[in-house]
Amino acid sequence: MELKILNKTDYEINMEIHGEDHTLLNVLKSILLEDSRVEIASYDMKHVNVSEPILYVKTDGTDQVTVIKEALSKLISRCDEFNEVFSEAVKAC
Amino acid sequence: MDAMASIPKRVGEIRFGLLSPREVRKMSITPIITADTYDDDGYPIDMGLMDMRLGVIDPGLICKTCGSRAGDCPGHFGHIELVAPVIHVGFNKLILKSLRSICRNCSNFLLEPQRKNEYLEQLQQLKIMGHSTDDLVNDLFKEARKTKVCPHCNEEQVEIKFEKPSDYIENGEKLTPTEIRERFENMSDDDVRLMGMDPSNARPEWMILTVLPVPPVTVRPSITLESGQRSEDDLTHKMVDIIRINQRFQENREAGAPQLILEDLWELLQYHVTTFFDNEVSGVPPARHRSGRPLKTLTQRLKGKEGRFRGSLSGKRVNFSARTVISPDPNLSINEVGLPYAIAKQMTLPVNVISRNLEKMRQYVARGNDVHPGANYVIRADGRRIKVTDVNCTDLAEKLDIGWVVERQLQDGDIVIFNRQPSLHKMSIMAHHVKVLPYKTFRLNPAVCPPYNADFDGDEMNLHVLQTEEARAEAEILMKIQENILSPRFGGPIIGGIHDHISGMFLLTRTDNDISKNDALDLLRKSHIRQLPEPAGYRDDGEPYWTGKQIFSQLLPDDLNLEYVAEVCFKCDECDRENCENDAYVIIENGELITGTIDEKGIGAFKGHIVDKIVKEYGSTKSAEFIDDMTRLAIRAIMRSGLSFGISDEDIPKEAQMHISEIISNAEDEVKRLIEAYEARELEPLPGRTLDETIEMKIMQKLGVARDKTGDVAGNHLGLDNSAVIMAKSGARGSMLNLTQMAASVGQQAVRGERIRRGYTGRTLPHFSKGDLGADAHGFVKSSYKSGLNPTEYFFHAVGGREGLVDTAVRTSQSGYLQRRLVNALQDLEVQYDGSVRETRGVIVQFKYGEDGIDSTKSDYSNPETIHSIVKSVTGKEVEQ
Ligand SMILES: [Mg+2]
Ligand SMILES: [Zn+2]
Ligand SMILES: [Zn+2]
Ligand SMILES: [Zn+2]
């Protein structure tokens, strides 16, 4: 994975994430949108065959870096939770 | 000769005429007397068809006539003395006309002497004024042919008949070429002038050949096959035949052979000379090779699509071009074209190496020719071209210096020209920016299909790479897609939404009124918009929602104002405007869609008012961006709800079906009543029509109304929840008629606008009684496509359908020929800076372009009164018409 920050203001960020696709970005975007401090979270790949995804986040003024970091830890904890529940369910059956 | 060749020459004049025997001998370098070409040592035989004096084709040899090498030697004619005269096929028509207009005894033109003088005077006048004399000459031929008795020697004239391929029959006897030639020889110069010929240039007897020119070997070069065997040109083969027969004729005649044999040989000589000129004369079996392939002789070389004129002289073949199948890619901008890597790696662009790009060009060369984007050739400062390979690329990159040229491979952003045949208008060839993509097809945005008239059922297109900065600049400014959105044909956009773009926009702006934040952002994801307006409201759970109209408005320029009636309008007698129940009155205020549904009238190619307004007021770059964003939004929108169509979408309820059959049987009853009235002679004929025409028209009208009624019934049961209706009403694809035919009734099949009448005597098919005028006996199909057609209906449907196929086939071929002629006639016209249209000599064709000086692309749908809309936009008030 390689990450390129295209532009950044006080509450906005645009970044290109090489080597990733909908698998990560769709879920990340959804989690970001759950946060009421996030005004816009959207990502796109300019061309399906040749482009890398670009994530755009705009907050209500809160530092966008913290918001994204929080979203990522939320994502990790949710994965952990799923992992736990899943392992238990498998054990049980 | 070398010095001569370098002097440019100018053609002073061209004179057309006939070659006289004297002239043929004069320009001939040698008589050709033997049919053999080479001797046993493979050396050309003197006075044979390959005589070395006829020119050289083998490299290294020197021409015995002019002393120049192959390539410089133009070749030199020889000649064959024909033992007996033969007719030149190309002049059959003129020979016949001439024979008919001169006296069979004294060869005088069959007119009174004083009439002749009058006509000669007139001809002279026409020539002085530079007018064509063709019409007058034709009148003369006609008048002379009517003369039955020669006014000069009182000989009675006999009608001369022409028989294919070249026989002239008088009194049931064939005139020999010798006899014809004699008659022509006896004509006076003035009489020749009366036939429209200039006797110093073209005497009629020269149409009968006594000497045949032998074309130089440069015209008929022999090819050496791999086996070392020589293969001669078709023309050479034909000349061999002529010489052989000529010799045999002479031998037989000298030996005193019977007349019958001589006549046969004469015929044979005529045959060979005829096929030498034209191997496709009707009535003459074409001369063939041993393999059975017909020979390609003089006429065949010139004629037709692959002939010298259309194939070699007008036809141009180019380098730096590519051709492959096209496929759609909505991810591309309308200004882009997807280019396969395989093609990008083979097509190059010359770049002059200067200090500022030296390092960059080194990188291209260093990558070699196999890693994209690399370079395929470098041209050193001394002009030497070197191919870049895996082996020499690092070396060349190092040596690369200022003043060299690198032919680098195409890469993203390069401008190229893209074309689809038939290139009927300027939008058939437009410029695109390259986007290099995997796979093997050219990719293009489906929104640019209309100007190219392309679809993706296997269409192929051509691509050309521009080689100079000037050409690229011109393409960028004049030929790019975005500069051609407006068609000069009707002054509206030819590029816009099509098919699903329209259905999608229709669904989004009409029915989609509860869009969550996540979905709203998702809809706009492919556009450049990264913001949302204030939500339209909040759901019960407190979540905000947006309407489809709001989402669409995000794409519009902020100060756009527009009002128009949408395609879905019911065409009510009185329009409720913004209160339209059907949401068909579109109002856009300050870039906000207030009311109305966006459909074909808004964003469609050809009709889109919003696209039109944006191009005309915000310029081409903005328009391209709008079309890109709008089409992508539409596709996201149509994917949200999904739009599919199946056989069950044509289902209509039982009672509706009953209603439909009732309407049809009522109509059939009415037709029956009409027929009874007709047979009882009680029918009043319509003004200006016969009784038969009247009954036909009345029946057609009744059945037409019936079909429309069934359509209405079906339409009432198929609402806007039906995807076919959505597509038809929004203008995306198909029509309500298509739907009527599928669900209700197919209706009357017609040939040339009339009910089907052809077939057996008195009836169309044996299934009907003679003279039956009923609906089903003349092609009325009451079934629907869904319910299926019965056998007679199916047959009539095929009859009607065939007409459509024939029409399109005939139309395309006719319009193609029309186009060729029009282009040939107009290609040199040019609009000058003073606004006049002139041809190459500077002669004015129009004082003002188009007689009004208006650029139709800049007018409002070619309406010159653009001023009204300008006044309105400034004052905000409608102009009184
Ligand atoms: Mg096609
Ligand atoms: Zn020569
Ligand atoms: Zn006479
Ligand atoms: Zn209306």
Strands B321-328 and B442-444: parallel
HSE toward the beta carbon, residue A33, CA cutoff 13 A: 21
For chain A, the domains span 2-92
B512 touches B640 (CB < 8 A): yes
Residues of chain B with C-beta less than 8 angstroms from the C-beta of A58: 530-531
According to the model, what pLDDT value does residue B1 have?
47
Q: Are B331 and B473 in contact (CB under 8 A)?
A: no
CB contacts of B542 in chain A (<8 Å) are none
**Domain regions of chain B by residue span:** 31-76+215-310, 89-206, 321-484, 500-611, 647-806, 830-875
Q: Give the C-alpha separation, B529 to B167, whole Å.
A: 82
Model confidence over A46-64: pLDDT tens digits?
A: 898 888 999 999 999 889 8
Distance B57 CA to ligand 2 centre (A): 10
Would you say A14 and A5 are in contact if contact means Cβ atoms under 8 Å apart?
yes
Report how far ligand 4's centroid is from the alpha carbon of B568 (Å): 8
Q: How far is CA B490 from CA B200, B430, B565, B857, in A?
A: 56, 19, 19, 7
The rounded average pLDDT for each run of 10 residues, N- to C-terminus, in chain B (881 residues) is 64 91 94 88 87 86 85 91 94 93 91 90 91 90 90 89 89 91 93 91 94 94 82 92 94 92 93 94 90 92 88 86 96 96 95 95 94 94 93 92 95 96 91 96 96 96 96 96 93 93 94 90 92 92 93 94 89 82 91 93 92 92 95 94 91 90 91 90 87 89 90 88 92 91 90 89 91 89 93 94 90 87 91 93 92 83 66 71 54
CATH classification (class only), A2-92:
alpha beta
Q: How many CB pairs under 8 A join A and B?
A: 33
Beta bridge partners of B415: B433
Sheet holding B160-163: strands in order across? B160-163, B167-170, B173-175
Measured between beta carbons, the chain B residues lying within 8 angstroms of A42 are: 521-522, 524-525, 530
3-state secondary structure of B842: coil
Q: Please tell us whether the domain made up of B31-76+215-310 is placed in CATH 1.20.1740.10.
A: no
**Residue bearing tokens 């400062």:** B381
Residues 6+ apart with CB under 8 A from A41: A29, A32, A33, A55, A56, A57, A58, B521
Closest in A33, A46, A50 to B517, CB measured: A33
How close B328 gets to chain A, by Cα (Å)?
13
Rounded Cα distance, B562 and B591, in Å: 9
Cα(B327) to centroid(ligand 1), Å: 11
Alpha-carbon distance of B870 to A11, in angstroms, equals: 42
Chain A CB contacts of B438 under 8 Å are: 49-50
Closest Cβ–Cβ partner in B437, B521, B526 for A40: B521
Between CA A23 and CA A32, with CA A28 as vertex, the angle to 5 degrees is 160
Q: Are B627 and B334 in contact (CB under 8 A)?
A: yes
Place of tokens 């030497």: B384
Which numeric CATH code is attached to B647-806?
1.10.132.30
| Number of residues that make up chain A | 93
Model pLDDT, residue B865: 60
**DSSP-based three-state secondary structure for B594:** strand
- Number of H helices and E strands in chain B, helices first, is 26, 29
From chain B, pick out residues whose CB is under 8 angstroms from the CB of A46. 331
Distance B136 CA to ligand 3 centre (A): 23
pLDDT at B64: 87
Give the SS3 label for residue B22: helix
Supply B150's token pair. 């020669």
The pTM of the full predicted model, rounded to 2 decimals, is 0.77
CB-based contact A48 B331, cutoff 8 Å: yes
Choose from B336, B443, B525, B534 for mutation: most chain A CBs within 10 A.
B525
* Distance to chain B for A90, nearest Cα, Å: 33
Look up tokens 């920050």; give the residue: A5
pLDDT at A57: 93
Residue with tokens 């006719």: B814
Q: What is the mean pLDDT of chain A?
A: 92
Helix (H), strand (E) at residue B616: helix B609-641
For chain B, how big is the Rg over CA atoms in Å? 38
CATH 2.40.40.20 fits domain B321-484: yes
Q: What are phi and psi of B136, to 5 degrees?
A: -65, -45
How close is the Cα of B609 to the center of ligand 4, in Å? 17
Query: Which chain A residue has its CA at the smallest distance from B331's CA?
Result: A47
Q: How far is the CA of B214 from the centre of ligand 2 (A)?
A: 15
What's the per-residue H, E or C state across B549-575?
HHHHHCCCCCCCCEEEECCCCCCCCCC
Which residues 11-50 on chain A approach chain B with CB closer than 8 angstroms?
30, 33, 39-44, 46-50
Environment of ion ligand 1 (residues, CB < 5 A)? B 455, 457, 459
Superfamily of domain B500-611: RNA polymerase Rpb1, domain 3 (1.10.274.100)
Is the separation of the CB atoms in B169 and B176 below 8 Å? no
Element (H, E) at B754: strand B754-755
